[in-house]
Amino acid sequence: MKTDELREKYLDFFVSKGHTRRPSDVLVPRSDPSVLFTPAGMNQFKDHFLGRCKLDFTRATTCQKCLRTGDIENVGRTAYHHTFFEMLGNFSFGDYFKRDAIAWAWEFLTRKEWLGLDPERLSVTVYLDDDEAAEIWARDIKLPPAKIRRLDEDENFWPASAPSQGPDGVCGPCSEIYYHPAGGQSVEIWNLVFTQFNRVGTPPNNLRPLPSKNIDTGMGLERTAAVLQGVETNFHIDILRPIVAAAAEVCGLDYDPASDSGRRLRRITDHVRACTFAIHENVRPGANKENYVIRRLLRRAVLDGHQIGLREPFLHRLVPAVAEMMGKPYPELGETVERVASVIRDEEKRFFSSIDDGLARIESILKTIRRENRNEVLGREAADVYTTHGVPPELFESLAAEHNVAFDWEGFRREMEHHGVLSGGGVVVDVFSSDPLDGLAKVLPATRFLGYETSEAEAKVVALLARRELCDQVDELAHDEPVTVVLDQTPFYGESGGQVGDIGALVGGGVEFDVIDTQKQRGFVLHRGHLRRGQLKLGGVLTARVDTERRQGIRRAHSATHLLHFALQKHLGEHAQQQGSKVDRDWLRFDFRNPQAVTPAELATIEREVNERVALGAAIEWSELPIADARRAGAMMLFGEKYPDIVRMVSMGGFSRELCGGTHLDSTGQVGLFKIVGEESVAAGIRRITAHTGAAAVRTVQEQEALLRELSQLLKATPADLPQRVSAIMKEARELKKQAGAAPQAPQASVEQLLATAEDVGGTKLVVAEVPGANAGVLRQQIDQLRKKAAPIAVLLATREADKVLLVAGISRDLEAQGVSAIEWVRSPASVVGGSGGGRADMAQAGGKHPDRLPQALTEARDAARRLLAAGGRV
């Protein structure tokens, strides 16, 4: 059975059992801080399991895109582990329980019209104490006792070992289904989790039955396909084998499954698939969190290619194969092949440029370790390899492991923290953590948001958090650290979708609470701030008052952001899609895709377009509608963004439609003025525009005007003449610099050479010479040096420039004291070349228009010197 068919069969089967088919959640759930990547099918239903949201259905089935970094080391080595894989699942929220879950799993696996697996080849495990499940397998399904194994809490409980080790919260036993192929390796294909307890504290008697029991199952799509297709590893199923083959081709190898390179090809296949899905959802390789995971996967695959012998980027060439193989369920991958490939190529290039040095460094470190009889890579060594050569520590660790050398993670982290570059790479797969908000989430509904309609409302305090603990009251004196207040409803906007949180006050009944920030988590709006007066109490009623002036500035910036997005798409093209944004009071930052810098002319057009839309005073409206309708209406949607079934669509005058939860103006006209203040690069292919709105935009324009005025006054030019004036000044400065700077670098005739030509005129040295290629500055300097070296001395130097000639004459102080004048001297030869001169008595200069007459001029200079010196009494 083909994998695509298996996926559909599973979903069809559970639809036939009354389940609602739901789409996969995104791979990177940005709304859930407890995980970097979706690790299982159940994650998107956390709130359903906790009864925290309205249940439109109590049975659901999905095929979920998952990524588990915990399995990285297994990839390529075991037959059945991937990082990215698909998990089929069926879920019950307080509806059916163990009996149906087990019966349906068996029916689907063994019935001819479904998978038709041989029951003889299946076995199951149950949790040690779970008699109920064991009995269903034995009595209802009629499995022989030998096929039902009872395992401990570390194997058959979810979360693993929860009863003894926690965490507190929802948990339950599970039952795994294994397949045993003829002569092959057994494989766990399906795990049925029976969440029936709430764990409270340590054993004994810490597992309380939940009032409403849930089912959460996960079947590995690739593993089950491998079983059905009778292949020995997941990598040989119909949707993966062609990617392995493409990898082999790109690497110039024949795929030999048992070889070392076979293992590397499988790893390359896995990692490029994971990277393709993640980058498609706009996760770029980077230094932190999910970005780091992708960098690590990508570099690991590149390292495999390198060790096969490749020296050029290759991984990106596999993206089309991935998009094709995964195209049936995920046709959207086809739309981003080029972008994904180019992101991968850039990262590959970067890594290839440092990989040889990195590996050489690792080799030398390992050599040192052997020499020093150590058995561990020091944190310092690993940190150095990572920061200078970009080799991820995990790669170093596995290279070291091949030499039986351990890796000091503790030391590595310390070292990185010391450098301030800790990467936060690990994945927290702790689904129900012990965050106090999670506890709250079980008992309280999400905060009702009133901020679209009003900026002030009465509300009840439903939770108080101080020092990360829930409390019943907060007193005035205990307010040095910020306190968090949760209300049943609020006009305060909690930071999300790029829009900053509101500030303001909670007042009433003697309470004055300054809200300094508002956040949104787990559906709650968290008002963070300081209690100035009174006492906060659970159940107390307060008036929540948003700082409306600031909020209005935020609304202007947010509506302008949509206008900017519209203008970018119109003038740069549809590729100019939003990559991120930050919206603050009359200030916005917008990141979007564009291959190169936006030119000043384009920026001007975009700014004009936005301001024209502002001047239109178009109505801004919003409505809530099913996601499919919004798509039909042409609302912009982004890959990797999770949208609920009912979305909020913000439209402006029929030209802009975006899905957005932010607070907006009533009319585009209220933006007032939109002024771009910056354009820059944030990453390869991503640009950032920063802009101001409203009063801030006016202020920006006024400041620029004031600056212009000041410049005009300084430079004595009208603003319109400024460019010309400044370029003239710059030209002058350049020339002066040239003159001043040229002399020491290029003496055309050395001072010694000149001195050697001196003739003696009654005890005074006389130097008259042409210095080709010099300028006035050079000549003056040479004269100065000659005067220092020999006195009394009279020097006249000349140089020719195209159609001009330059003469500089200088005499030593003693001659000047005797009444000899350089001005007088220079005039005689100057008259020969058609010029006249001027300057000081000890140094004078003249220009002439007849360079051809220079030789005669120099003869005249000598004669004139003799005359003057004689007159001065020297001869």
Distance in Å, CB of 80 to ligand ATP, minimum: 6
Residue number, 298 or 431, with CB nearest to ligand ATP: 431
Specify whether the CB–CB gap between 345 and 380 falls below 8 A.
no
Question: Is the alpha carbon torsion for 476, 482, 484, 485 positive or negative?
Answer: positive
Structure tokens at 764: 């005074």
Residue number, 218 or 685, with CB nearest to ligand ATP: 218
Break the chain down into helix, strand, coil percent, rounded to 5.
45, 25, 30
Specify whether the CB–CB gap between 688 and 590 falls below 8 A.
yes
Residue number, 157 or 492, with CB nearest to ligand ATP: 157
Residue for token pair 């007032």: 672
Q: Give me the amino acid identity at 259.
A: S
Distance in Å, CB of 183 to ligand ATP, minimum: 20
Residue number, 330 or 622, with CB nearest to ligand ATP: 330
- Tell me the C-alpha distance between 24 and 833, whole Å: 92
All residues at 6 or more sequence positions from 720 whose CB lies less than 8 Å from its CB, including other chains: none
* Three-class DSSP category at 703: helix
Residue number, 124 or 377, with CB nearest to ligand ATP: 124
Alpha helix positions (H), 281-327: 289-308, 319-325
Burial of 430: CB neighbours in 10 Å, binned 0-12, 13-18, 19+: middle
Distances, alpha carbon 309 to alpha carbons 215, 246, 398, 536, 633, in Å: 49, 16, 19, 67, 51
Hey, which residues does 517 pair with through a beta bridge?
528
Q: Which of 346, 287, 296, 358 is nearest to 316 (CA)?
A: 346
Distance in Å, CB of 219 to ligand ATP, minimum: 6
Distance in Å, CB of 687 to ligand ATP, minimum: 37
Q: Give me the amino acid identity at 189.
A: I
- Tell me the C-alpha distance between 639 and 28, whole Å: 11
Distance in Å, CB of 124 to ligand ATP, minimum: 12
Residue number, 147 or 575, with CB nearest to ligand ATP: 147
Residue number, 67 or 542, with CB nearest to ligand ATP: 67
Give the count of alpha carbons within 13 A of 804, CB side only: 11
Give the count of alpha carbons within 13 A of 624, CB side only: 5
Distance in Å, CB of 86 to ligand ATP, minimum: 8
Residue number, 236 or 545, with CB nearest to ligand ATP: 236
Distance in Å, CB of 70 to ligand ATP, minimum: 8
Distance in Å, CB of 696 to ligand ATP, minimum: 50
- Tell me the C-alpha distance between 365 and 617, whole Å: 67
Distance in Å, CB of 61 to ligand ATP, minimum: 15
Closest CB to ligand ATP: residue number: 220
Hey, which residues does 776 pair with through a beta bridge?
none
Residue number, 326 or 795, with CB nearest to ligand ATP: 326
Residue number, 86 or 408, with CB nearest to ligand ATP: 86
Distance in Å, CB of 159 to ligand ATP, minimum: 10
Structure tokens at 639: 């890959």
Distance in Å, CB of 433 to ligand ATP, minimum: 17
Residue 683 is classified by DSSP as E
Residue number, 43 or 670, with CB nearest to ligand ATP: 43
> Based on C-alpha coordinates, what's the Rg of the chain?
40
* Three-class DSSP category at 31: coil
Distance in Å, CB of 218 to ligand ATP, minimum: 3
Specify whether the CB–CB gap between 792 and 781 falls below 8 A.
no
* Three-class DSSP category at 616: helix
Distance in Å, CB of 174 to ligand ATP, minimum: 7
Q: Which of 63, 25, 70 is nearest to 43 (CA)?
A: 25
Q: What is the 3-state secondary structure (H, E, C) of 796-852?
A: EEEEEECCEEEEEEEECHHHHHCCCCHHHHHHHHHHHCCCCEEECCCEEEEEECCHH
Quote the crossing angle between the two packed helices 854-871 and 822-832, to the nearest 10°.
150
Q: Which of 391, 291, 408 is nearest to 350 (CA)?
A: 391
Distance in Å, CB of 177 to ligand ATP, minimum: 8
- Tell me the C-alpha distance between 319 and 326, whole Å: 11
Specify whether the CB–CB gap between 560 and 613 falls below 8 A.
no
Specify whether the CB–CB gap between 811 and 793 falls below 8 A.
yes
All residues at 6 or more sequence positions from 604 whose CB lies less than 8 Å from its CB, including other chains: none
Residue number, 98 or 223, with CB nearest to ligand ATP: 223
Residue number, 160 or 695, with CB nearest to ligand ATP: 160
Distance in Å, CB of 5 to ligand ATP, minimum: 18
Distance in Å, CB of 364 to ligand ATP, minimum: 35
Distance in Å, CB of 248 to ligand ATP, minimum: 22
Residue number, 429 or 686, with CB nearest to ligand ATP: 429
Residue number, 45 or 352, with CB nearest to ligand ATP: 45
Q: What is the 3-state secondary structure (H, E, C) of 279-290?
A: HHCCCCCCCCHH
Residue number, 84 or 590, with CB nearest to ligand ATP: 84
Backbone angles phi, psi at 758, to 5 degrees: -65, 140
Residue number, 84 or 93, with CB nearest to ligand ATP: 84
Number of Cβ within 10 Å of residue 533's Cβ equals 11
Chain contacts with ligand ATP (rule: CB under 6 A): 68, 71, 81-82, 85, 87, 188-191, 218-220, 222-223
Distance in Å, CB of 189 to ligand ATP, minimum: 5
Residue number, 74 or 496, with CB nearest to ligand ATP: 74
Q: Which of 474, 475, 484, 493 is nearest to 440 (CA)?
A: 484
Beta-sheet strand order (sheet of 793-801): 759-761, 764-770, 793-801, 804-811, 843-848, 837-839
